[in-house]
């Protein structure tokens, strides 16, 4: 999807990278409405995936249920792993949605950075390196489903 942002030019987003814990999943549960939004995003042509250390060994089941891909961040404590995964995905056309300090290096590598507050909060360093702060994952996904929302927030 290509967005025309008044005062900031064109923004092309092909891939949406989601953090798992605290972002896609809140207190271990994917919020209602997420699965339907992911289906809508895929039908609009976005590639959507999540990065996780898979410490709960549940990534395969979750990805199958949600109909999206996932990639293993080998060391769940290492922010560089997430960044390196993004560097393989044309980061200049990626958006990232996250909440923790571990997402900071990933956020610095991609074009559009969104953080979610939800129940687990957002790390202040990651927030200060983001473009948009939203309350929930559904609000984050809606920014891509209703392009006028994204444009209205980013325009000058």
User: Would you tell me which residues interact with Mg ion (CB under 5 A)?
Assistant: 19, 21-22, 99-100
Which CB sits closer to Mg ion, 8 or 119? 119
CA-atom Rg of the chain in angstroms: 14
The nearest distance, CB 5 to Mg ion, in angstroms, is: 27
Task: Compute the Cα dihedral for 104, 105, 108, 112 and give only its sign.
Answer: negative
Distance in Å, CB of 153 to Mg ion, minimum:
22
CB of 40 to Mg ion, least distance (A): 23
| Beta carbon nearer to Mg ion, 11 or 94 | 94
Nearer to Mg ion, 15 or 23 (CB): 23
> Tokens standing for 128?
């200060």
CB-CB neighbours of 10 under 10 Å: 8
CB 131 within 8 A of CB 5: no
* CB closest to Mg ion, residue no: 22
Q: Answer yes or no: are the C-beta atoms of 116 and 137 closer than 8 Å.
A: yes
Q: What element of type H or E holds 5?
A: strand 2-5
Report in angstroms how near the CB of residue 12 gets to Mg ion at its nearest: 26
**Residue closer to Mg ion (CB basis): 21 or 130:** 21
């Amino acid at each position: 999807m290509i967005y025309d942002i008044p005062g900031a030019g064109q923004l092309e987003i092909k891939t949406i990278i989601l953090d798992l814990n605290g972002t896609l999943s809140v207190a271990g549960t994917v919020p209602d409405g997420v699965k339907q939004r992911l289906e809508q995003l895929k039908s609009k042509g976005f590639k959507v995936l999540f990065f996780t250390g898979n410490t709960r060994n549940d990534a395969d089941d979750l990805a199958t249920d949600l109909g999206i891909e996932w990639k293993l961040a080998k060391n769940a404590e290492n922010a560089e792993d997430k960044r390196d995964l993004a560097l393989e995905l044309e980061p200049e056309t990626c958006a990232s949605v996250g909440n923790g300090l571990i997402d900071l290096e990933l956020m610095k590598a991609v074009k559009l950075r969104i953080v979610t507050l939800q129940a687990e909060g957002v790390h202040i360093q990651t927030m200060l390196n983001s473009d948009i702060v939203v309350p929930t994952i559904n609000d984050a996904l809606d920014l891509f489903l209703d392009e006028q929302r994204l444009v209205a927030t980013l325009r000058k």
